[in-house]
Amino acid sequence: MKKLGLIPKLIIAIILGLLIGNFMPEGFIRVLATFNSLFGNFLGFIIPLIILGFVVCGIADLGGSAGKMLGFTTLLAYGSTLLSGFFAFFVSSNIFPKFITAAESFSASNPEKGLLPSLFIVDMPPIMPVMTALLLAFLLGLGISSLKKGRTLYNMALEFQEIVQKVIKVIIIPLIPLHILGIFANMTYTGEVQTIFSVFWKVFLIILAIQFCIILFQFLIAGAASKKNIFVLLKNQVAGYLTALGTQSSAATIPVNLDVAEKNGVSKGVREFVVPLCATIHLSGSTITLTCCSIAVMLLNGMNFTFPQFAGFIAMLGITMVAAPGVPGGAVMAALGVLQANLGFSEAQLALMIALYITQDSFGTACNVSGDNAIALIVDRFKFK
C-alpha cells in the first residue's frame, strides 16, 4: 500500500465507500461515521494551526514583497470569483428556463437528509477561528518581514511550521483516504449519493460543466503565464481535486494542494503563502454553485431576476464567503444573509438552497482548490523582488 500514490488510494477509497454503503450493516457504517467525526473534529482543530504554520513563514520569507504579493493574490482570487459567478449567471439564465418552470415542485420541508450519527463525539474546539488565524498570520508575517534585526520570532515560526508539517505527513495525509471512504459509505447508506443523481440532476450537470470550463480557463491562463504544459498541470491537480471531492473542505485540502504546487514548480515561499491564503479567499466553485442554484430556485418559484440584481449578489458573495469556515457547507451558511437581502429568499427557499448546495458541495470545493493552484502559478510568475 505504501507504494500506491495518493490518487489510486483516493479512487480505491471512493469505490470501497460505495460498496460498503450498499452492502454493510448500519453498525459498521456508524463505526466509520465515528472515525469521520473524530478525524473531522481533529481537522477543525488543526486547520487554524496549518494556516499559522504556513502563512506566517510564507509572508516572512517574502520580505518586503509580502505586501505586494498579498494585494496581487487577493486581486486575482476576487477577480476569479467574480468571473466565475458572472459566467455561471449567463449560462444558467439562458439554459435553465428551458427545463425549469414554476409548475414544477420540490419539497423544502426536509432540506437535508441526515447521515448516520457517530457512536460518540469527542469535542476538539480549535484554538481560534479560521479568520482570526488568517489575520494573526498576516500580522506576524508582515511584522517579522519588516524587522531588520533579530531572528527569534522567525525561528519560532519556522520550528512551528516543521511541527505542523510533521502532523500533516504522519497523521493527516495517511488518514485522508480512510476519511473519504467513510464519507462515501455514509452517503451511500443514507441515500445521499442517489439524491445527487435523482434531484436536480440537470442543474448539477450544468454546474459541473461550468466548473470544468472555469478550471480549464484558469489553467490556460496559468500555463500561458508560467510557460508550462497545461496537460501536466491538470494531471498534477487531480490529487487535489479528488481530495477536495471527499473532504468537502478547501482548508483540509491544503496539505495535498501544497504538494501539487511543488510538483508544478511553484517556489516554496509563493506556494506556502498563496495556497493557504486562497483556501480562504478564493471561492470560484462555490460562487458558481450558489449562483446556479439560486437561479434554479427562483425559476421554480416563479420569481423574476435581473442582471444588476445578480451582479450585486455575486459581488457580495465574493466578500461574504471569505468568512466561511473551512468545513462542508460553510459557504452556503455564510451566504444565507446575502440570499435573503439581495434576492429576497424566504425561509423555505433558504432551506432549499442549503439542500441543493450541500449535495453538490464536494464539486464546488474541488473547483475552488484547483483554481488556488492556478493562481499560485500566476503569482509565482511575478517575483515581486
* Average confidence score pLDDT of the chain: 80
| pLDDT(113) > 50 | no
What is the rounded distance in angstroms from the CA atom of residue 329 to the CA atom of residue 360? 10
Q: What is the mean pLDDT of residues 296-324?
A: 81
Q: Is 373 exposed, middle or buried (0-12, 13-18, 19+ CB in 10 A)?
A: buried
Q: Which of 222, 221, 263 is nearest to 239 (CA)?
A: 263
66 and 59 Cβ atoms separated by less than 8 Å: yes
Would you list the DSSP string of 101-121? Answer: -TT-----SS---PPPPPS--
Share of the chain above pLDDT 90, in %: 22
At residue 99, the 3 state secondary structure works out as: coil
Which residues lie below 8 Å from residue 257, measured CB to CB, with a gap of 6+? 240, 243, 275, 279, 369, 372, 373
The residue type found at 291 is: T
Q: Which long-range contacts (CB under 8 A, 24 or more apart) does 300-307 make?
A: 300/100, 300/102, 300/104, 300/105, 300/106, 301/102, 301/349, 302/102, 303/343, 303/344, 305/93, 305/343, 307/89
Please measure the distance between the N-terminal and C-terminal CA atoms of the chain and give it in whole angstroms. 43
What is the rounded distance in angstroms from the CA atom of residue 152 to the CA atom of residue 189? 52
Q: CA triplet 66, 69, 75: central angle to 5 degrees?
A: 140
- Residue 79: band (very low, low, confident or very high) from pLDDT cuts 50, 70, 90: very high
What is the rounded distance in angstroms from the CA atom of residue 174 to the CA atom of residue 13? 12
What element of type H or E holds 170? none
Q: What is the mean pLDDT of residues 299-320?
A: 85
Cell numbers at 257, concatenated: 494542494
Which residues lie below 8 Å from residue 26, measured CB to CB, with a gap of 6+? 116, 189
Q: Which of 249, 223, 251 is nearest to 376 (CA)?
A: 223
What is the pTM for the complete model shown?
0.68
Greater model confidence, 228 or 107: 228
Give tens-digit pLDDT for 3-30.
Answer: 666 667 777 888 898 889 888 888 898 8
Q: Please, what's the b/e burial string for 254-269 (b: 16 or more CB within 10 A of its CB; e: otherwise)?
A: bbbbbbbbeebebeeb
35 and 176 Cβ atoms separated by less than 8 Å: no
Q: What is the mean pLDDT of residues 39-63?
A: 76
Express the helix, strand and coil content of the chain in percent, nearest 5 each: 80, 0, 20
What is the rounded distance in angstroms from the CA atom of residue 67 to the CA atom of residue 20? 49
| Predicted pLDDT of residue 276 | 86
Share of the chain above pLDDT 70, in %: 83
Rg over alpha carbons for the chain, rounded to the nearest Å, is 21
